[in-house]
Structure 1
Amino acid sequence: MVENQWPVLLSRLDFGWITTLHILYPPLTIGLATLLFFSEFRWVRSGNDHWYRLCRFFEKLLIVNFAAGVATGITMEMAFGILYGPFSQAVGPFFGQVLGYETITAFMYEAGFIGLMIFGWGKVSKRMHLFATFNVALSSAFSAMWILVANSWMQTPTGVTIHDGVFTVKDWWSALVNPDVVYAFPHMLVACLELSLAVVISISAYYLLKRRNVSTFQKAFKYAMLVLVPIAALQIYLGDGMGLTVAEDQKPVLAAMEGHYDTYNPDGSVNTGWHVLAWPNADNTGNAWAITIPHVLSLLETHSWDGKVTGMNAFRANDRPSVPIPFYGFRVMVAVGFAMFGLSLWGLYLWFRGRLAAETVTSHRWFLRAAVASAFLPYLSVWVGWWTREVGRQPWVVYGIMRTADGVSRMSNAQELLWLGCYVVFELAVWGSTWWFLNKIVRNGPDMTSPIPGDGDQNLGELEDAPRFKHDANPTPSPA
């Protein structure tokens, strides 16, 4: 390998490690906050204590996960300036402001209401606490939106011009609502919900298998399983939409995701077959071997039998992304999507048969075991999806405009390795601590004995009417 390639490789490796560990946390925070709002809403409306117990139990998981997301998120933003200094300077007029909006959303809006959500039980009214939980869910979704706006702009940069090496925003609406974000943000938001549903389903199934707190976790399990049906189906639809967007705006990326090298030829010598499995040759000019289904790629990407899908060989060699990660990452995403949809249909079938009731659900042990294992699948899908997205964009840091080699900081190999080592140690420490606390919470289970808080307004009113001093045993009501 040529010496000057090492800083690019190490910077990509370093930042790839940071994002791989960081992305474990925000999806669960975003989705679980929404599910907590639903659980608390059910408690406020029905007065059923099971919903309160579920809300307080899963809230503990949210708190630990949120803290880990903040710690690794701050590290990731710091890494932009350290590892990608020239990129940060060039895109600052747009990127800096968008990340500033995300900071306001996450560290002011979300952090303010999460404090009220955690410490407000019994101190504010039920409706005010529900309002705080709603705002935690809403602000976390806004935070994700700004991150996806920034990353999508790197995929399909619009609304900017370059002057003296700096990106100047000419059309804010075009830059914010770029072609990629139209599907990328809904796709990620639904992924967060799907992942959180899978976590709730997995933990609930674990308790059902152990026959612990069955009446409480049966409710969480049944409702989460039913909601998973439309969410899993919607995610498949949005994934198809993302593929169409990539096919339109990032043709080399689509070619890498499909291992597609030769563009369709009307004479029939080349058709747009879909490769189930394949591996590129050493020159990245074709596949060394492939298992192919004819014409399916055209059907997927153009919705026609012989639609044109541009192959990798239509682009310059130094503009082509690496194939294996996007190719297999995409297939893992598809497999996970249909696996989650299949699990949801299994649950729907049992629900129609009346088998998800508290009296019968524990008898379906293979179904519950599959449900426990399902929590890992959305995490895997988020991981490989992000790798596909970032590796597929290479060799560009801003697609088609700024190469990654031009955006990395000018550090020595020793400095790059030092930062990589520090980030590895820090991220593993956060991951290990988070896993230990989450494990402990799940092992201990929900608190089923503490008193249910009443309405905070009533409690405050009782305190105001209570005697404050011994010599004031019969206070005169205040004229106020």
Structure 2
Amino acid sequence: MDIDPLLLARIQFAFTVSFHIIFPSFTIGLAAYIATLEVLWITTGADRYHRIARFFTKIFAVSFAMGVVSGIVLSYQFGTNWSRFSHVVGNVVGPLIGYEVLTAFFLEATFLGIMLFGWNRVPKGLHVFASIAVAVGTSLSAFWILSANSWMQTPAGYELRDGIAFPTDWITAIFNPSFPYRFAHMVTACYLTTAIVVLAVGARYLVAGRFPEESRTMMRMAIGLIAIFAPIQALIGDQHGLNTLEYQPAKIAAVEAHWGGEPTDAKTGIPLILFAIPNEAEERNDWQIAIPRLGSLILTHSLDGTFKGLKEFAPNERPPVAIPFFAFRIMVGLGLLMIAIGWLGTFLLWRRSLFHAEWFLRPVQYVWPIGFITILSGWFVTEVGRQPWIATGILRTADAASPVTGWAIAVSLTLFVLVYGIVFSMGIYYINRLIVKGPQGAALEPPHEELPPSRPLAAAGEATRDAIVRPGE
């Protein structure tokens, strides 16, 4: 039985990179959050910031370790499964990834030990500086990785010699046309992902009646960031979409499931398709639900504007439609949910009822995964939408694979799934145990002068402590 090595190589890389991106996206935002807490601690002297920072530093350590372990294999796959890719574009992509090691990784490695183990061992100012340095390092890492990825999407500052890409202008290559939008979009997504997790943890503690001072601080900070950054992310996404329409129009056509070729488009505009089942075989959409002209308004800022449809591209130049189409809608839907959570939480905070609103706190304690799902959906749009190119206009994905057998890739893929499944399960289990334990040195119960959020909520907290917390203490 023959197994397609190209398909398996793509599945393997998609699996490993999807698993890996969960952890850097969390640690980038979490490092910035910890640094902010420490600055607040040293400037205000409030111990709650110190306790929350130490608590999340433990979670950061686990996430950072899993991110490093899951990311190592990605570089090896360039040589094992995608050697042609390394040969053709390695002159550009290789140095960009190398810069990440020379700047971001060295900076993180220098100060990470102080951040993790320097509590009460080094002066406060040094520890705060170390945490800020680690936060800067994680952002620098995102800078270089996204620069390399953006160059593959919208190459610039290079020339081809015998089919091999050589850099001619490093500034143009680094700051390629899509990089500023992609970098801003991704870093904002990382901050929102962390804020959603912090919000869920704070709500979880309030529902259980535990760590009231810390949980309220977590929720105030998280809601403030979500309320501001979630709408900003929508604006960044709009500009990123316009940039993609200019440089990768086939991707936008796939995202919108816009087949084109209709003579009425120029007269009636292009609808925004809310839901459909893309039918690639017949080049149409089934079960379509659309809003007239709204697609034109969003992408061209005109009710009568048009853009290329999939039929205007040769069949071998089109990306798959279903994955970008549905992934984009998941991303946008969860983004709107974040806006709603942020604004509703701000309203409740303004009304001084946030910490008593049981109807809000109970569901919010379970929203922690939505940031990760949103990031994964966005990456599916980005990576699947650029097909059939692995480096746009330079190298096709089908031409980038190594001459290895399908069975060899199948064996390594199976091992990756097993090992990653174990690592992921253990990491999530340990992080959850850290959350159950809570901030070190914090009071478990509310002070006597404070009333619990509500009697039903407090009763639920007592049951939660009896059923969950005490067996693990």
- Verify same fold: TM over 0.5: yes
**Matched-pair identity in %:** 37
CA separation of 1:264 and 1:116: change in aligned 2, threshold 3 A:
farther
Partners of 1:17 and 1:304 in 2: CA distance: 39
Describe how 1:315-354 pairs up with structure 2 within 5 A: 315-354=313-352
* CA-to-aligned-CA distance 1:251-291 (integer Å, 9 cap, x gap): 11000000000156468576311111112224252223311
Range with greater deviation from structure 2 (166-175 or 419-428)? 419-428
The aligned counterpart of 1:209 is 207
Partners of 1:449 and 1:12 in 2: CA distance: 47
The aligned counterpart of 1:182 is 180
Partners of 1:179 and 1:267 in 2: CA distance: 29
> Do residues 55 (structure 1) and 53 (structure 2) align?
yes
Partners of 2:277 and 2:199 in 1: CA distance: 36
Partners of 1:150 and 1:420 in 2: CA distance: 25
TM-score by length of 1: 0.89
Secondary structure of the 1:259 match is coil
Partners of 2:358 and 2:49 in 1: CA distance: 24
> Do residues 421 (structure 1) and 414 (structure 2) align?
yes
Aligned residues: 443
CA separation of 1:284 and 1:176: change in aligned 2, threshold 3 A:
farther
The answer to whether the 8 A contact 1:264-1:310 is kept is no
- Amino acid in structure 2 at the alignment position of 1:223: M
* CA-to-aligned-CA distance 1:407-445 (integer Å, 9 cap, x gap): 011111111111211221222122112112101101111
The aligned counterpart of 1:83 is 81
Runs of at least 4 residues off by over 3 Å: 263-271
CA shift for structure 1 position 194: 0.1
| TM-align CA RMSD | 1.7
- Amino acid in structure 2 at the alignment position of 1:49: D
The answer to whether the 8 A contact 2:31-2:134 is kept is yes
The aligned counterpart of 1:70 is 68
Partners of 1:155 and 1:252 in 2: CA distance: 12
Partners of 2:297 and 2:37 in 1: CA distance: 42
Q: Which of 18, 29, 32 pairs up with 1:20?
A: 18
Partners of 2:407 and 2:201 in 1: CA distance: 44
The answer to whether the 8 A contact 2:266-2:304 is kept is no
Describe how 1:313-462 pairs up with structure 2 within 5 A: 313-356=311-354, 361=355, 363-448=356-441
Secondary structure of the 1:373 match is coil
CA separation of 1:259 and 1:449: change in aligned 2, threshold 3 A:
closer
Partners of 2:306 and 2:347 in 1: CA distance: 40
CA shift for structure 1 position 235: 0.8
The answer to whether the 8 A contact 2:189-2:375 is kept is yes
Partners of 1:321 and 1:215 in 2: CA distance: 51
CA shift for structure 1 position 87: 0.2
Secondary structure of the 2:353 match is coil
CA shift for structure 1 position 304: 0.5
- Amino acid in structure 1 at the alignment position of 2:436: R
Structure 1 unaligned spans of 5+: 451-480
The aligned counterpart of 1:103 is 101
Secondary structure of the 2:286 match is strand
The answer to whether the 8 A contact 1:263-1:272 is kept is no
TM-score by length of 2: 0.91
Range with greater deviation from structure 2 (215-224 or 344-353)? 215-224
- Amino acid in structure 2 at the alignment position of 1:432: S
* CA-to-aligned-CA distance 1:71-116 (integer Å, 9 cap, x gap): 0111112122111111012111111101111122343111211111
Partners of 1:271 and 1:124 in 2: CA distance: 64
* CA-to-aligned-CA distance 1:206-227 (integer Å, 9 cap, x gap): 0011010111211111121112
The answer to whether the 8 A contact 2:31-2:60 is kept is yes
Partners of 1:268 and 1:145 in 2: CA distance: 40
The answer to whether the 8 A contact 2:280-2:321 is kept is no
CA separation of 1:273 and 1:117: change in aligned 2, threshold 3 A:
same
Partners of 1:151 and 1:36 in 2: CA distance: 28
The answer to whether the 8 A contact 1:262-1:270 is kept is no
The aligned counterpart of 1:475 is none
* CA-to-aligned-CA distance 1:36-83 (integer Å, 9 cap, x gap): 111111111111111111011011000000000010111112122111
- Amino acid in structure 2 at the alignment position of 1:144: A
Secondary structure of the 1:25 match is helix
- Amino acid in structure 2 at the alignment position of 1:437: Y
CA separation of 1:97 and 1:284: change in aligned 2, threshold 3 A:
farther
The aligned counterpart of 1:453 is none
The aligned counterpart of 1:242 is 240
Partners of 2:62 and 2:422 in 1: CA distance: 14
The aligned counterpart of 1:219 is 217
Structure 2 unaligned spans of 5+: 444-473
CA separation of 1:268 and 1:172: change in aligned 2, threshold 3 A:
closer
Secondary structure of the 1:321 match is coil
Partners of 2:220 and 2:287 in 1: CA distance: 45
